[in-house]
Structure 1
Amino acid sequence: MLSQKQLTDIKELQLVCEQEEAIHLKLNWDMLEMRNEQELTDFFHYEKEKLVGFLGLYGFGSKVEICGMVHPSYRRKGIFTRLLGEGLEEMKKQGTETILLNAPANSSSAQGFLQSFSCRLSFSEYQMKWVETDLGSEEFIEIRKSTLDDLETEIQLDVQCFGFKEEEARKYNKRIRKEDTQIHYVIEKDQQAVGKIRVQHLDGEAWIYGFAIFPSFQGQGLGRKALKRVIREQHALGYPIFLEVETKNANALNLYQSCGFQTVMAQDYYQLTLKS
């Protein structure tokens, strides 16, 4: 695991970089705080005991996302290029299939770097925040906490709804269960599992993840009912509510907007190609 000093150094550097450009860096703090010490996932550059460069690798099955940053006063010195090179070498050793470099859409420094690098825009993602909205009368929907017996169902939902390969979905679900930082729920109809949704409380906020309904049960309003119930519950607990959605997922985007979510940030994901 990362030391408390390393985590504090990363947080301080993140705040400096975000304030410099009025951006939000997606550093996946739930994963940073639960690192496996047997895996090389984080790369640091210190100058006189001050962290001025950081790069983290975040694995999701056979896909790895990269997010990094360099202190504004230390840019244009090749620090990020070196950190990225170290990260790519590690992923080459691991046989990573898909590499995505994550950058805030409004970061001029990130865009400048990417223009000089061999990559292509793969997709964009919105971070959305719920703005208090009249959700109408509450409609009954069966939602319960997930158990170990639901693991296979959750794996199949990731395969059918998010395009995971079965083995990577299995590895991913086992890992997030082990990390135990999220509350897992199963959505049911007539006592049959039809979907799932996860909630994580982080820094006083509630984040919704992994929301999916089996394709054969879509179009029946089950997802809308489940989402509204989770919103009501988290709002009653006093949490501001957030979620993420790919910009090209029009159905999900329309659902979230109709339930009161508004876009507050955007992230771009660029696919990199490893040189043999």
Structure 2
Amino acid sequence: MSSYQVVPMVYNSKEQINAIILLEQQCKQLDSVHLKADLDHISQKDGDHALLCYRDGTLVGLLSWYASDTVTGNINAIVHPQYRRQGVFSNLLKRAILDMKPQGINQLSYRVPQGLSPGVHTAQSLRAIYDRAEYSMQLVNEALEVTEPPELTLSVAKDEDMEFMVTCSSQAFGDSEEWTRNYFMQTNEPSRVNYIAWQDQTPVGLVRINSINATTAFIHNFCISPDYQGRKIKRTALRILVNLLREQSYTDIRLSVVTENERALNLYRSVGFEVNSEYHYFSGNLNM
């Protein structure tokens, strides 16, 4: 029986990129769930790590991962339906763990599309515990016009804004300031831009943009300081941000939200975002 060959992806390899696109298409034809390889994230320099699994020269599986902090590896994987339960994912994961351990990563987060039962079974077989579900949302309508002059302004964060960013994010999301500071340092790539929301020369909020490519922007870490919540500031800031991204020629604007956060879900819909997919997340560790 032929053995599997696991190799690192070369981000600018046209041959590998074409093979990944074909694998996505094959999965889409054979699955009721559309699996995504997150090609935008793995086909750029300094993007997510990616491993490819071949059998007899044919790509049958892919695993990508990135570290959102200093200890957690976030995993996304796709396996050709005809090669599932045959060791493809386990071979990919073993190799990924070898790459993660020297970086101090000891926790894993598996992303599974809603409705993909093989993915759920795999996560459970690895003793991973269900963590949360998130909607992926995409802007489908133009943001409403902001009254001029706006009651709020956005500006690119400067080095001296770091302490506000740490405090604001920590208070909004319930993480420690130490973890939050490490997270910002870990995700300080050129593709990310941090914006501070100001009202009357006072910093009141934070939002980060990850530029996936020339036309796609992902909004994340969007938060308002507790003292200023409930004043419609978040909706105004989001409208300003969307208009700003449109001016920068982004045509595909995305974000994600926990499915149980009805307040945030309604906010994003009010500005023109709609749900296009749902993902479930499972937490595990490096011990297989």
The alignment's TM-score, normalised by the length of structure 1, stands at 0.83
- Counterpart in the other structure of 1:219: 230
**Residues 224-250 of structure 1: per-residue CA shift (max 9 Å, x gap):** 110011223334546232211111333
**Residues 21-55 of structure 1: per-residue CA shift (max 9 Å, x gap):** 3424363844663438xxx9543322244332222
Identity rate of aligned residues, in percent?
Answer: 28
* CA 2–167 in structure 1, closer or farther in 2 if over 3 Å, else same: farther
- Counterpart in the other structure of 1:114: 123
Q: Does 1:245 align with 2:253?
A: no
CA distance in 2 between counterparts of 1:202 and 1:90 reads 24
The 8 Å contact of residues 197 and 204 in structure 2, kept in 1 or not, is answered as yes
Q: Does 1:70 align with 2:79?
A: yes
Q: Does 1:127 align with 2:136?
A: yes
2:187 to 176, 198, 201: 176
CA distance in 2 between counterparts of 1:275 and 1:224 reads 43
Matches within 5 A, 1:144-183: 144-177=155-188, 179-183=189-193
CA distance in 2 between counterparts of 1:29 and 1:168 reads 27
Matches within 5 A, 1:180-259: 180-203=190-213, 204-235=215-246, 237=249, 239-259=251-271
CA distance in 2 between counterparts of 1:147 and 1:49 reads 49
CA distance in 1 between counterparts of 2:56 and 2:11 reads 18
Letter in 2 for 1:196: L
CA distance in 1 between counterparts of 2:58 and 2:277 reads 29
Query: 1:95: how far off?
Result: 4.3
Unaligned runs of 5+ in 1: none
* CA 137–275 in structure 1, closer or farther in 2 if over 3 Å, else same: closer
Q: Does 1:84 align with 2:105?
A: no
CA distance in 1 between counterparts of 2:22 and 2:192 reads 25
* CA 161–10 in structure 1, closer or farther in 2 if over 3 Å, else same: farther
SS of aligned partner of 1:220? coil
The 8 Å contact of residues 129 and 284 in structure 2, kept in 1 or not, is answered as yes
The 8 Å contact of residues 24 and 265 in structure 1, kept in 2 or not, is answered as no
> Number of residue pairs matched?
272
* CA 47–240 in structure 1, closer or farther in 2 if over 3 Å, else same: same
SS of aligned partner of 1:4? coil
Segment drifting more, 188-197 vs 157-166:
157-166
Letter in 2 for 1:195: G
- Counterpart in the other structure of 2:281: 269
**Residues 90-124 of structure 1: per-residue CA shift (max 9 Å, x gap):** 54554435321111113243234335442221001
2:66 to 47, 58, 61: 58
Q: Which 4+ runs in 1 deviate beyond 6 A?
A: none
CA distance in 1 between counterparts of 2:102 and 2:61 reads 23
Query: 1:78: how far off?
Result: 0.7
The 8 Å contact of residues 169 and 206 in structure 2, kept in 1 or not, is answered as no
Cα RMSD, aligned residues only: 3.0
Letter in 2 for 1:264: N
